[in-house]
């Protein structure tokens, strides 16, 4: 792989990752408050993928950058503890956000006439079978609408040490494995089970591991100052053409109907659904090709990296740098905004307050966390290095005996 820049030092951050993670968080929040004009500004209105695919891809890259150095000499207990500890944290954050979402909807239904909220977004079992509902929430078998991406991410982190290590030893081996497992998942419709509903997880980790692993390969190359996929005109122009065509496709009723029929006809000819359908659970072909083309074009050197690192985009990068807490807060605020819109339907002014106010709160939260982090670092005592002559007299006794 050709060098594109100096290797990234351990602990250093790539501004592009922070920027695009922050941008994804903004778009996720806009999409999670449906029915506003701001929803029309997100990426899903210009192609088949949306911010969720981008977020998982970048999470894989971030995982490779953060945990790759800990695994460079092989699988080890400290690395497992770090990565799996993060997975446990994601589970706990998910449970807290789910409980807050339930409390918001219950409050709206009990006191403000928002009973209709209990019929949407997988809330029905709360009133029909509350014991099964609670079991499902705790075991991740039941995931509420708009509160269901963290379980998939937590599951992917359980596999992350093995995926990262395979990518370090044999990048093409990881590429072959992740594509092969994605195909197998689609052919056999593998998924984790739901409870009490039938079916499987909406964000199927067996399928979404493909985007996560491709992100890992990107991050591992980035750490070495390389690109996993080189810059070539033979790739740039097809990617740009596909993105342009998809932007027209999703806006054209004619193309939607015609190509939708083509997809249906291909399925009648026994072409696997996950190759030609638009299924989000299995990261189907059109969605996959769109996010990969988008990631490739946005990663090209030039104007995009300059924008990502610019001063004006510092607030977006800051939100991306504190991705998990900002995402959790945004999820709760989105459910609250949905409840407000349900019990008090408003127009553009109310939507603007909910959207811009929510984003402002998320940015303020990220800025507060950054300030607290800098304060903690400033208060941390400098490490004390004792001179050799100050070592106690007993120190020579600690020398290992020569091997016989």
User: Residue ranges of the domains in the chain?
Assistant: 15-376
The Cα–Cα gap between 122 and 373 comes to: 37
Q: Give the span between the Cα atoms of 339 and 344, in whole angstroms.
A: 8
The token pair at 313 is 């985009």
Cα–chain center distance at 185: 20
- Asked whether the beta carbons of 17 and 55 are under 8 A apart, the reply is no
- Give the largest Cα separation in the chain, rounded: 86
Q: Are 53 and 291 in contact (CB under 8 A)?
A: yes
Give me the sign of the Cα torsion angle 161, 166, 167, 169.
positive
Using alpha carbons, select from 212, 185, 196, 195 the residue that is nearest to residue 279: 185
pLDDT for the residue numbered 5: 60
- Residue 374: predicted pLDDT: 84
**3-state secondary structure string, 282-321?**
CCCHHHHHHHHHHHHHHCCCCHHHHHHCCHHHHHHHHHHH
CA angle 356, 361, 363 (to 5 degrees): 95
Question: pLDDT for 277-316, tens place per residue?
Answer: 999 999 999 999 999 999 999 999 888 999 999 999 999 9
pLDDT at 388: 43
Q: Which DSSP letter does residue 105 get?
A: H
d(CA 153, CA 159): 10
How many CA atoms within 13 Å lie on the side-chain side of 18? 18
Residue 165: closest CA among 79, 290, 254: 79
Rounded to a whole number of angstroms, the CA Rg of the chain reads: 24
Residues 33/39, Cβ–Cβ less than 8 Å: yes
Do 66 and 60 touch, CB atoms closer than 8 A? no
- Residue-level pLDDT at 394: 41
Strand, helix or coil at 199? coil
Q: Within 13 Å of residue 324, how many CA atoms lie on the same side as its CB?
A: 16
How many C-beta atoms lie closer than 10 Å to residue 139's C-beta?
10
Report CA-CA distances (Å) from 114 to 26, 102, 127, 177.
26, 13, 14, 47
What is the distance between the alpha carbons of residues 293 and 249, in angstroms, rounded to a whole number?
15
User: What pLDDT is stored for residue 376 in this prediction?
Assistant: 76
Which residues of the chain have a pLDDT value below 70?
A: 1-12, 380-404
Q: Which of 233, 212, 235, 200 is nearest to 159 (CA)?
A: 212
Say what the pLDDT of residue 384 is. Answer: 52
Distance CA 22, CA 321 (A): 7
Give the separation between CA 174 and CA 181, rounded to whole angstroms. 10
Predicted confidence at residue 389, as pLDDT, reads 45
């Amino acid at each position: 792989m050709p060098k594109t820049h100096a290797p990234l030092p351990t602990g250093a951050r790539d501004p592009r990752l922070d920027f695009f993670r922050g941008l994804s968080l903004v778009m996720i929040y806009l999409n999670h408050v449906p029915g506003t004009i701001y929803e029309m500004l997100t990426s899903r209105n210009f192609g088949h993928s949306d911010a969720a695919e981008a977020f998982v891809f970048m999470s894989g890259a971030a995982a490779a950058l953060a945990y790759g150095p800990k695994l460079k000499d092989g699988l080890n207990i400290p690395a497992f503890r770090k990565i799996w500890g993060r997975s446990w944290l994601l589970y706990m954050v998910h449970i807290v956000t789910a409980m807050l979402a339930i409390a918001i909807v219950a409050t709206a239904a009990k006191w403000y006439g928002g009973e209709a909220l209990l019929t949407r977004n997988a809330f029905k079992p709360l009133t029909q079978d509350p014991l099964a509902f609670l079991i499902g929430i705790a075991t991740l078998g039941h995931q509420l609408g708009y509160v269901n991406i963290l379980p998939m991410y937590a599951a992917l982190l359980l596999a992350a040490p093995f995926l990262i290590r395979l990518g370090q030893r044999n990048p093409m081996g990881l590429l072959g494995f992740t594509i092969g497992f994605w195909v197998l998942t689609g052919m056999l419709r593998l998924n984790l089970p739901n409870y009490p509903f039938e079916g499987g997880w909406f964000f199927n980790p067996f399928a979404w591991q493909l985007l996560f692993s491709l992100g890992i390969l990107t991050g591992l190359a980035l750490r070495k100052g390389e690109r996993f996929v080189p810059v070539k005109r033979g790739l740039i122009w097809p990617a740009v053409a596909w993105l342009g065509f998809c932007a027209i496709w999703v806006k054209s009723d004619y193309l939607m109907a015609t190509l939708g029929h083509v997809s249906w006809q291909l399925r009648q000819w026994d072409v696997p659904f996950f190759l030609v359908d638009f299924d989000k659970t299995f990261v189907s072909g059109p969605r996959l090709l769109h996010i990969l083309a988008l990631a490739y074009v946005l990663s090209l050197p030039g104007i995009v990296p300059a924008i990502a690192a610019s001063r004006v985009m510092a607030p977006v990068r800051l939100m991306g740098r504190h991705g998990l807490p900002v995402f959790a807060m945004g999820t709760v605020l989105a459910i609250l905004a949905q409840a407000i819109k349900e019990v008090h339907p408003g127009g553009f002014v109310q939507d603007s307050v909910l959207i811009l106010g929510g984003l402002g709160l998320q940015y303020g939260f990220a800025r507060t966390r950054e300030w607290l982090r800098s304060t903690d670092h400033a208060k941390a005592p400098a490490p004390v290095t004792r001179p050799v002559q100050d070592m106690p007299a007993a120190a020579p006794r600690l020398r290992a005996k020569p091997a016989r």
